């Protein structure tokens, strides 16, 4: 898919105030600093579209971006940033969970995982929760430019093997780098295919 246009539409803390139209929508979630906003900029080809930062906790709201005037990308706040107060973390969790459970337009959730790290409890539990709630999701390994191709292959394969200890089958898996754009075509093609299907809420 070719991305011709992408523009910021609105930020919200409450999913009921998100754009009302029934358009396909793809949200990006994962631990703080995993590279959600950077990936959105890489996919859309606009460096400054979603705000990024080397300091975790940059994205605090549900951010909607309209792509090709037809579908939405959503940048969500990260979870699990330990240096935030418990009250702030709980508030962010509330925003994220309500959005995920309540947003009918959300066609697929991309769960981002830093390819360098061992499987983390917080991510595994989050994916369990998605499974329990029947939320369609895919896994996106980020920052694969930070290691050799072999190391990236081994690390991500080990991660998938760990998932298969508890999951019967794997969701779709993507390996990406926002630095060198690896994974861009695969992700955009996947979205293009899902855009052809009716919205879940309309089925
Ligand atoms: P929060 O909004 O704070 O939850 O973070 P985020 O998940 O949106 O991460 P963000 O995109 O802001 O990126 C965090 C840091 O990682 C920034 O310093 C990015 O430049 C860096 N980064 C993100 N993706 C990549 C990547 O693919 N490769 C490399 N080398 N660095 C990356
Ligand atoms: Mg962000």
Cα separation of 177 and 187, whole Å? 12
Q: Which of 133, 123, 72 is nearest to 98 (CA)?
A: 133
Is the CB–ligand 1 distance for residue 41 below 6 Å? no
Say how many C-beta atoms besides its own lie within 10 A of residue 200's C-beta. 13
Query: Is residue 1 assigned to a domain?
Result: no
Residue 93 DSSP SS3? helix
Query: Is residue 202 assigned to a domain?
Result: no
**Shortest-distance Cα residue to atom 20 of ligand 1:** 54
Query: Is residue 201 assigned to a domain?
Result: no
Q: What is the pTM of this model?
A: 0.96
Query: Is residue 55 assigned to a domain?
Result: yes
Cα separation of 187 and 40, whole Å? 11
Tokens 């994916």: give the residue. Answer: 127
| pLDDT at residue 161 is higher than 90 | yes
- Ligand 1 centroid to Cα of residue 48, in Å, is 13
Residue 112's domain comprises 6-196
CATH number of the CATH domain containing 144: 3.40.50.300
- Ligand 1 centroid to Cα of residue 166, in Å, is 29
Q: Would you say 114 and 143 are in contact if contact means Cβ atoms under 8 Å apart?
A: yes
Query: Is residue 126 assigned to a domain?
Result: yes
Ligand number with the minimum distance to the CA of 184:
1
- Ligand 2 centroid to Cα of residue 48, in Å, is 12
Query: Which tens digits make up the pLDDT trace of 14-55?
Result: 999 999 999 999 999 999 999 999 999 999 999 999 988 888
Cα separation of 187 and 69, whole Å? 18
Q: Which of 170, 195, 158 is nearest to 26 (CA)?
A: 195
């Amino acid at each position: 898919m070719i991305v011709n246009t992408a523009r910021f539409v609105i930020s919200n803390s409450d999913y009921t105030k998100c754009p009302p139209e029934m358009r396909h929508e793809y949200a990006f979630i994962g631990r703080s600093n995993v590279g959600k906003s950077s990936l959105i900029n890489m996919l859309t080809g606009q460096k400054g579209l979603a705000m990024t930062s080397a300091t975790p906790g940059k994205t605090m709201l549900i951010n909607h971006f309209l792509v090709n005037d037809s579908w939405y990308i959503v940048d969500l706040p990260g979870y699990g940033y330990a240096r935030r107060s418990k009250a702030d973390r709980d508030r962010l969790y509330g925003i994220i969970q309500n959005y995920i459970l309540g947003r009918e337009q959300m066609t697929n959730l991309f769960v981002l995982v830093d390819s360098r790290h061992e499987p983390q409890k917080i991510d595994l539990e989050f994916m369990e929760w998605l499974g329990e709630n029947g939320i369609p999701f895919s896994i996106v390994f980020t920052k694969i430019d930070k290691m050799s191709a072999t190391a990236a292959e081994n690390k991500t394969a080990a991660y998938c093997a760990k998932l298969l200890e508890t999951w019967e089958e794997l969701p779709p898996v993507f390996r990406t780098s926002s630095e060198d754009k690896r994974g861009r075509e695969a992700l955009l093609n996947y979205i293009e295919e899902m855009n052809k299907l009716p919205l879940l809420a309309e089925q």
